[in-house]
Amino acid sequence: MPLSAALKALPKAELHVHLEGTATPALVKKLAARHSVSLPAEIFADETTYAWSHFNHFLTVYDAASSVIRTPEDYRDVTWDYLRQCHEDGAIYVEMFSSPDHAAMNGMSFKDHLDGISAGIADAERDFGIVGRIIVTCVSHFGAEKAVEVARETARHVGHPHLVGFGMGGNEVDFRRSDYAPAFTIAHEAGLPCTVHAGETGGPEVVRNAIDNLPVKRIGHGVQSIFDADLVRRLADERIVLEVCPTSNVLIIDKFPTYADHPFLKLREAGVIVTLNSDDPPFFRASIGGEYAVAEREFGLDEPALRGITRNALEAAFCDEATKARLLAKL
């Protein structure tokens, strides 16, 4: 649905989106043609979205679609195309999760993937004025040793102007967050702020395990915290920011089958700092503008409240203070 003019004009910021998961079927098909490879037709539902049935299947389709991102130029194009769409939605700042593991599976070094994304960020800022930054992520179901390798490489690139943080996505039910403490410690000691997916497909115990054992300032999703009142209080007291992705959650988490079931408002009313995010936009027919529209339509947030969400995101952003101040001045 197109955004209203007022909603489009509202400055937005995004903290949680997987770069490989932003590539539209149209772009993925273009990259497949660029490399003369064919992808299984069944991964596409249509020109704008992918076909998947449950979370682990989603991860498989995600890997298949990202397999065509093979060169720094491909990463540049994926990044630029996503930031262009965000700019059209009125976003002024986007932190994107990159996955060097996916890059490596497709024959690219850490530096190749970073250079490509960085070029996309620079080109998008030149073309649209939008500011993009990179959070390098490891993937839990690729194992704790791989995570340490990713953290070491990331630590070696601290000081890169677009690299601002470290994180982890992937399967949180079969892989304990605390097992990744060595990776997160490397990133943290190198000066990188951290975030981790927890409380998406897993329950509140996964969020507790994450905040008890990892040096994280933010939690990816965290929405299943709602089932533990003490945990909700702790998140509020410790000002741990939740990167909430309502549309993704409604499609992935059985416990929240509709927006009316989603705990966004309850968490916010309990004093938890919440933000709005799209996660893997074409997989969920989501967008950053669309999530703000959901918050307006389904959660009843008015314009000042939506501005407050952008303020939450900018204040919790991992970029440097000067960039943050420049962006906050646009609010």
Residue 281, interface with ligand ADE (CB under 6 A)?
no
CB of 284 to Zn ion, least distance (A): 11
Residue 70, interface with ligand ADE (CB under 6 A)?
no
CB of 283 to ligand ADE, least distance (A): 8
Contact code string over 30-69 relative to ligand ADE, x by CB under 6 A: --------------------------------x-------
The CA angle 225-231-235, to the nearest 5 degrees, is: 90
DSSP string, 162-187: TEEEEEEES-SSSS-GGGGHHHHHHH
Window 276-295: residues binding Zn ion (CB under 5 A): 279
Q: Is 159 exposed, middle or buried (0-12, 13-18, 19+ CB in 10 A)?
A: exposed
Q: Which residue in 7, 13, 15, 18 binds ligand ADE (CB under 6 A)?
A: 18
Q: Which is nearer to ligand ADE, 96 or 226 (CB)?
A: 96
Residue 21, interface with ligand ADE (CB under 6 A)?
yes
CB of 14 to Zn ion, least distance (A): 11
- Can you name the residues that pair with 132 across neighbouring β-strands? 94
- Nearest CA to 209 among 236, 244, 175, 166? 175
Q: Which is nearer to ligand ADE, 7 or 194 (CB)?
A: 194
Residue 14, interface with Zn ion (CB under 5 A)?
no
Residue 200, interface with ligand ADE (CB under 6 A)?
yes
- Nearest CA to 133 among 330, 331, 313, 329? 313
Q: How far is 285 from 95, CA to CA, in rounded Å? A: 19
CB of 176 to ligand ADE, least distance (A): 15
The residue annotated as part of the active site, out of 20, 153, 172, 200, is 200
Amino acid at the residue 147: A
Window 223-242: residues binding ligand ADE (CB under 6 A): none
CB of 243 to Zn ion, least distance (A): 8
- Between helices 229-237 and 204-213, what is the axis angle to 10°? 40
* Three-class SS state of 136: strand
Over the range 197-231, which residues count as b (16 or more CB within 10 Å of their CB) and which as e? Answer: bbbbbbbbbbbbbbbebbbbbbbbbbbbbbebeeb
Active site annotation includes 243? no
Q: Which residue in 162, 177, 197, 268 binds ligand ADE (CB under 6 A)?
A: 197
CB of 326 to ligand ADE, least distance (A): 29
Residue 170, interface with ligand ADE (CB under 6 A)?
yes
Q: Which is nearer to ligand ADE, 223 or 267 (CB)?
A: 223
Pairing of strands 12-14, 91-98: parallel
Q: Which residue in 74, 95, 279, 296 binds ligand ADE (CB under 6 A)?
A: 279
Residue 169, interface with ligand ADE (CB under 6 A)?
yes
Q: Which residue in 14, 74, 81, 280 binds ligand ADE (CB under 6 A)?
A: 280
CB of 280 to ligand ADE, least distance (A): 5
- From residue 262, give the alpha-carbon distance in Å to each of 88, 230, 234: 27, 19, 20
Q: How far is 78 from 72, CA to CA, in rounded Å? A: 10
The CA angle 162-168-170, to the nearest 5 degrees, is: 130
Residue 170 binds which entry of ligand ADE, Zn ion, none, CB below 5-8 Å type-dependent = ligand ADE
- From residue 326, give the alpha-carbon distance in Å to each of 176, 243, 288: 38, 22, 21
Which residues are catalytic, by number?
200
Q: In the complex, which residues of this chain contact Zn ion (CB under 5 A)?
A: 279
Q: In the complex, which residues of this chain contact ligand ADE (CB under 6 A)?
A: 18, 21, 62, 169-170, 197, 200, 248, 279-280
